[in-house]
Every structure is written in C-alpha cells, then in structure tokens.
Amino acid sequence: MPVDLESILRPIDNPMPPFPAKHMTIASGEEMTIRQVTRDEIPDILPHVAPLMYVERDFYDVVAARVYAELMSYYTHRIQDAYVLIAQIDGELCAVVNGRMVSGDVGMSLHTLAMRRGLRIGAHAFAAKMEYHMDIMGQKEVLIVAESPIGFRRWMIASTSRTSWAVCRRGH
C-alpha cells in the first residue's frame, strides 16, 4: 500500500489576507514598492539572497543563510502560515522580509534582509511587516528578534520607548 508522504509532510496553511502593495518615496527621491510575493516567485529571489551568505559583515552571512532556508521552506511547503514581502525600486530587489502566523493573535517576524543600505529600506520593509501583522491580520503581538548588531541597534534599542525587546504588542 503506497503512502503519500507529501500529504504527511506538507503543513496545512491557514488563510491569511493579502498584503496590499505599498508605494513610497524614499530619501533618495526614488519610488519604492513593497509587495507580497507568491511561492512561484521564490526561485527568482534566491539568486539575490545567495551571494549575501558570504558577506562577513553585520552577520549578513548568518541572516542571508536563514532567509535562503526560509524561502526554500516556503517554496516547498515546509513552513506553515508563512509569507514573504519584498521591496523593489525600479524593479530591482532591495529587501526581503518574512514572517509567519503562530496563531490568530500572535505573529512571528522571521527576518529582514536589505540588499541596498543607507536609505532605511530595511526599516521601511520591517515597518510594512509589522503593519501586515497588526493592521491587516489583526494580530495582538509579534515576536521579534535581532540577530545582528545593526538590527539590535535599529530595532531593539531605538524602539524601546514603544516596545519590549522581544515582543511588539498592539497599543504599546
């Protein structure tokens, strides 16, 4: 009797509302779009993430390796209730952010990876991710962690007046 292993291994995703694309003018005067991507677009994103696995600065190597693995997990249906947002300027990939639903009330920020630095692109992409969790999905809290010194400085220290270092809660 054959066993369908894929039906055993593949998690069942819960429905999540789509992220409506955002358009903004960044400090350089360029227009940036942040949008949700589908699984079918993941193979086009991977070649942009892969070279960053060899950048030994600000833990880009560690974060890029994890983002690559999470993108592959999303693409192959090995992570439950995940999503991927990207930031683009004139069609150029500038940032990848991802996360997942832990439950209806709790989300988890996985990673924020900026390919262009110095324009606060990562900050805008991270803010869009928090907007997705809080305003669009209506979650009450989002678990976050910083793996790099720059992430710690920008997200944990700079935002301690509004959030704790580990949890972003609605209304705080």
Domains identified in the chain and CATH numbers: 19-169 (3.40.630.30)
Alpha-carbon gap, residue 137 to 49, rounded angstroms? 27
Amino acid, single-letter form, for residue 28: S
Using a cut of 0.85, tell me whether the model's pTM lies above it.
yes
Backbone angles phi, psi at 32, to 5 degrees: -115, 140
Q: Give the model's pLDDT for residue 163.
A: 42
Strands (E), 26-78: 31-36
Backbone angles phi, psi at 62, to 5 degrees: -70, -50
The DSSP letter of residue 51 is: G
Q: pLDDT grade, residue 21 (50/70/90)? A: very high
Among residues 153, 169, 15, 19, the alpha carbon closest in space to that of 84 is found at: 19
Q: pLDDT grade, residue 125 (50/70/90)? A: very high
Percent of the chain beyond pLDDT 90? 71
